Amino acid sequence: MGFSELGLSEEALRAVADAGYHQPTPIQEQAIPVVLQGRDVLGTAQTGTGKTASFTLPMIDILAAGRAKARMPRSLILEPTRELAAQVQESFKVYGKYHKLTVALLIGGVRMEEQERLIDRGVDVLIATPGRLLDHAQHGGLLLGGLKVLVIDEADRMLDMGFIPDVEKLVKLAPPLRQTLFFSATMPKEIRRLADRFLHNPKEVSVAPPASPAETVDQQVIYVDAGNKRPALRALLKQHEVSSAFIFCNRKRDIGVLTRSLVRHGWNAGELHGDMSQPARTETLESFRRGDTKFLVCSDVAARGIDIQGLPFVFLFDVPTHSEDYVHRIGRTGRAGMVGRAITLATKPEARYVGDIERLIGREIPLGTVAGLSEEEPDESEKAGSRRRKTSDKNRNSAATRPEARPKEEPTSRPKEESEGDVAQAPKPRRRRRSSDSPGNARAESKAEQKSDSPVVGLGDHVPAFLLTRMPGDTEQETEKPPRRRKS
């Protein structure tokens, strides 16, 4: 099917042709005609599938007729992070170049007064992060009663970041007679319940099973000693003649250490994480996009959903403890049908998380090698360890899954409440401060990252000391302690 069969205007088609697109992606094929009909959409799609254009293109045509009134935006797009919001704004520039729509970005880290001036003039498309938007709405500077179209994007990420209460408040301020487009990379129960409340008779469109990694990404896992990870990474960069890559770490402090180490060894590297100020984040990303910075050492929180055209490589310096993060990390490469490669560096104790990931994605990740370094391959029992240990921990000590029974420094790279079963059993979402978008997302993101500042151990798997005592006949890995971090 070609773009011309989707019902888009001549102007939109011209903009698409200028962008160099020949064929709509599956999500575009399914969603665009439905959105143009005025129907609600419930979309399961990851970033990298062409999801943004699937809602921006028809919105541009829907909003082409009519004028915005002061302080009453005609459409609203909610994004979990400032980077994603800025990326959607870019899409409107690209796809809306033959239209005269006013588009405004409302994100934390920018002065409220400047944003108020924009809103006062009247905007057709408002793209915002929830916290900052709610600040404006509650100050009376922004009226959501005129919304024709409401987009809630990356809903599962909103849940991760504790934004859902804000989203619910915002939806209450929107008129009941509106068109709602709701997208999520995954569809856990909590998200589906929200969708049921926000959407009216939606058309469901789904382009990839919730947790399947992009088909085009060539994946490998390489087992190395903890102390060998940095040399291994450098060797791999040379071995594969990598021109540019994202390098993901689980812990924020490792991002700085690794970046400095790479720079010391002559690599052109920068860092990106939620503790950085917004201008610093924007500048780092821009520098990477321009090609001035070649390697970006980053956290999940900062890099999720970021679209860098033609990124050839992603390295996972640590194995993510939440399997779904793996899918998002590798999804930075191999986007929009291009070939990409993802190499994970794992230690033996991390094998359990590799096992979890393989169960989630339904396939084994091939083992790779790194020239000149000794690799240690775990046996199958190590990969199976995670599931076994979780079950037996439950039996031993059910309190271990409660927040108060967890170690103070949680090893997870994102909040626990995410997609782990029923809301009623999940820990209460952490309260967010108002004005939390200023410095906002950064604070929420930083909090999420703070949790990951500890060695890679089980998910709150508190194992009583007596169980760790080595007994005759115990295997090595069952009593193994998490690796100590070495200073570089």
Q: Which residues, 6+ apart, have CB-to-CB distance to 42 below 8 Å?
A: 182, 195, 199, 202, 203, 204, 205
Choice between 28 and 250, CB closer to ligand AMP: 28
* Residue appearing with tokens 């996972």: 316
Query: What would you measure as the largest C-alpha separation in the chain, in angstroms?
Result: 78
Give yes or no for residue 184 binding ligand AMP (CB under 6 A). no
Q: Which residues, 6+ apart, have CB-to-CB distance to 189 below 8 Å?
A: 421, 422, 423
Choice between 81 and 261, CB closer to ligand AMP: 81
Distance CA 375, CA 117 (A): 59
Site for ligand AMP in 398-457 (CB under 6 A): none
Give yes or no for residue 58 binding ligand AMP (CB under 6 A). no
Choice between 307 and 453, CB closer to ligand AMP: 307
Give yes or no for residue 107 binding ligand AMP (CB under 6 A). no
The continuous run of DSSP H or E covering 357 comes out as helix 351-361
Q: Quote the least distance from Cβ 91 to ligand AMP, whole Å.
A: 7
Q: Quote the least distance from Cβ 338 to ligand AMP, whole Å.
A: 9
Distance CA 226, CA 192 (A): 40
What x/- string results for residues 14 through 43 when contact with ligand AMP is judged by CB under 6 A? -------x-xxx--x---------------
Residue 198: DSSP 8-state:
H
Give yes or no for residue 395 binding ligand AMP (CB under 6 A). no
* Residue appearing with tokens 């789904």: 206
CA-based nearest residue to 352, from 409, 400, 393: 393
Cβ pair 163, 131 in contact under 8 A? yes
Cβ neighbours, 10 Å, residue 290: 8
Structure-block tokens of residue 262: 């790479």
Distance CA 394, CA 396 (A): 5
Site for ligand AMP in 294-323 (CB under 6 A): 307, 309
Residue in 44, 47, 102, 347 binding ligand AMP, rule: CB under 6 A? 47
Give yes or no for residue 97 binding ligand AMP (CB under 6 A). no
Choice between 336 and 373, CB closer to ligand AMP: 336
Choice between 212 and 398, CB closer to ligand AMP: 212
Distance CA 400, CA 462 (A): 6
Q: Quote the least distance from Cβ 66 to ligand AMP, whole Å.
A: 25
Choice between 28 and 30, CB closer to ligand AMP: 28
User: CB under 8 Å, gap of 24 or more: what pairs does 482-487 form?
Assistant: 482/349, 482/455, 482/456, 482/457, 483/226, 483/227, 483/347, 483/349, 483/455, 483/456, 484/226, 484/455, 485/226, 485/254, 485/455, 486/226, 486/227, 487/257
Residue in 12, 29, 32, 51 binding ligand AMP, rule: CB under 6 A? 51
Q: Quote the least distance from Cβ 308 to ligand AMP, whole Å.
A: 8
Structure-block tokens of residue 206: 């789904």
Give yes or no for residue 81 binding ligand AMP (CB under 6 A). no
What x/- string results for residues 321 through 360 when contact with ligand AMP is judged by CB under 6 A? --------------xx------------------------
What x/- string results for residues 133 through 172 when contact with ligand AMP is judged by CB under 6 A? ----------------------------------------
Q: Quote the least distance from Cβ 487 to ligand AMP, whole Å.
A: 38
Applying CB under 6 A, what is the total number of residues that bind ligand AMP?
16
Choice between 52 and 344, CB closer to ligand AMP: 52
Give yes or no for residue 89 binding ligand AMP (CB under 6 A). no
Distance CA 108, CA 300 (A): 19
Q: Quote the least distance from Cβ 442 to ligand AMP, whole Å.
A: 22
Q: Which residues are near ligand AMP by CB under 6 A?
A: 21, 23-25, 28, 47-53, 307, 309, 335-336
